[in-house]
Amino acid sequence: MNQSGQDSLSISSTGSHQRHSYSLPRDLGDRILESISLSRELTSQILGDVDSSVVAQAGGYGDRVVVGDFQDGLESSYGLDIKSDAILSRPSNAKVASLASPLEGDSSFILPDDLLSHLAEKNEVQSLQSMSGKDKHKRLPPKLDYIAYLVHFAVFGILGVFTRYLLQKLFGPNVLSLTKDDTPLYLDLPSNMLGSFLMGWFGIVLKGDLCHVSEHLAIGLTTGYLGSLTTFSGWNQKMLNLSSESHWTYAVAGIILGMFIVNECINVGVEFSGWLRRSFLKLTKDSEITQSTLNQLRMRTFKQHMIVMALMLATWCSFCVFSGLLVKQELERLADITTLWLGCLLGPVGVWVRWFLARLNGRGLGTNGSLQWLPIGTLLANFLAASLMAALSTISKAVNTTRCGLIISGVQFGFLGCMSTVSTFVAEVYAMRQSGHPGRAAAYATLTIFPSFMVLQWDS
């Protein structure tokens, strides 16, 4: 039986022990996570042969989305042509079978209904996501494109900070009293749960559809909003506080339960959003109407991009002025809400730093590029945020004034809370597990959590 290289999907028939190969296009790079919406078995087979550096970039590859060396690296590594919408295709002389039919010699095998449905869905969505050469030339110039991403991150980052604060107050001791500082159910647990759940939606299942409308919107939602809604440094700091008060059992339980909960949240998010998406595609049987609707929503022209960027810039400036005035007013009153408004001012900087560090994902260490499976950028962002969190806590204890405490809390809540992330981290762990490397997923989780916790423990 012929194989079609990396584009071949091997599936076992339930009625026999024979194995049959079918061609399935691989959405490497930005859409690698879309394949994870398949069943666990199929996803493991699809991603099993994919280079580990590509899986490491499942949570994002930073500003390489603008400079373009991400695509250059994939082209040289796989011999693949990368279309403008990041869909990969084999060279014309590659032997690839049709999605809807098996390879030669396998005509007697019938695909399961759910797989046929998925393949048909993939064909339809890929046709909707195809971008003409004319659209390609209407993208923003690289410098303006870079600025557009930064502005989107700023706005979505502030929204993430604000949502995190509201969830803290809603589920905290003053309202629902479900989360507290002195229990394993830490204050940021609801926001980490919600962010991980939504990451399954917008970062995995629906990311390709969002990119078809606007790449700035897709990355702004995942890196900007969800990355700021969730916080790793805050989680780590709360567990440190428990351990420093001799509540080691609570601290260990908070780490273990927190990790299991956010992992389950992204699982539920993927499954639920995948079901909704499939249901929508079944209801929308007229593909011409669907294509027309998506094409109308797509950001096609330079003018459209500039209008959206101007609106986002105006929104960000308004947020900055409003937050700045409130910081000055509330700081004079020494009010606790100063933390929120200062966090809104500094949050975008944390998102920018995390996005810049994400360019290290999939690069590996040293000139030989060892450990390319490790998302070094995300790991470094979380570790640095935890280290700075510990340093600022030490300064706050040394100064021991209300004003200094409020300022440091604002920096921790905004800048460090947005610099660290749980949603991207858990998406990368999820991608490693689903690509057939649970050991790497466990190692990555351990390297993220325990060194950061030890740094905090040492500084305390």
pLDDT tens per residue, range 166-212: 999 999 999 999 999 889 999 999 999 999 999 999 999 999 889 88
Average pLDDT over residues 281-306: 76
pLDDT band at 227 (very low <50, low <70, confident <90, very high): very high
Instruction: Report the amino acid identity of residue 118.
Output: H
Q: Which range, 144-158, 367-381, 445-459, has the best average confidence (pLDDT)?
A: 144-158
Three-state SS at 164: helix
How would DSSP label each residue in 315-370?
A: HHHHHHHHHHHHHHHHHHHT-TTHHHHHHHHHHHHHHHHHHHHGGGTTT-BTTTTB
pLDDT digits (tens, 9 = 90+) for 361-385: 988 888 887 888 999 999 999 999 9
pLDDT for the residue 55: 77
pLDDT digits (tens, 9 = 90+) for 298-315: 887 889 999 999 999 999
- Report the Cα 137 to chain-centroid distance in Å: 28
Range of lowest pLDDT (126-130, 269-273, 275-279, 284-288) = 126-130
Reference 189, options 261, 113, 245; nearest CA is 261
Question: Which position has the higher pLDDT, 259 or 98?
Answer: 259
Average pLDDT over residues 267-273: 95
Cβ proximity of 101 and 184 under 8 Å: no
Report, in angstroms and rounded to the nearest whole number, the Rg of the chain calculated over CA atoms.
23
Question: Which position has the higher pLDDT, 368 or 152?
Answer: 152
Reference 320, options 149, 146, 157, 163; nearest CA is 157
pLDDT for the residue 104: 36
Burial of 147 (0-12, 13-18, 19+ CB in 10 A): middle
Conformational region of residue 177, where left means phi above 0, alpha means psi within -120 to 50, and beta covers everything else: left
Confidence check: pLDDT of 283 > 90: no
pLDDT digits (tens, 9 = 90+) for 24-75: 444 455 555 555 555 555 555 555 555 677 777 877 878 887 865 444 444 4
Question: Exposed e or buried b for every residue in 66-105, given b needs 16+ CB within 10 A?
Answer: beeebbebbeeebebebeebbbbebeeeeebbebeebbee
Partners of residue 8 on adjacent β-strands: 23
pLDDT for the residue 16: 43
Q: What is the largest CA-CA distance in the chain?
A: 79
Range of lowest pLDDT (37-41, 252-256, 408-412) = 37-41
Cβ proximity of 30 and 193 under 8 Å: no
Phi, psi (5° rounding) for residue 312?
A: -65, -40
pLDDT for the residue 32: 56
Q: What is the mean pLDDT of the chain?
A: 78
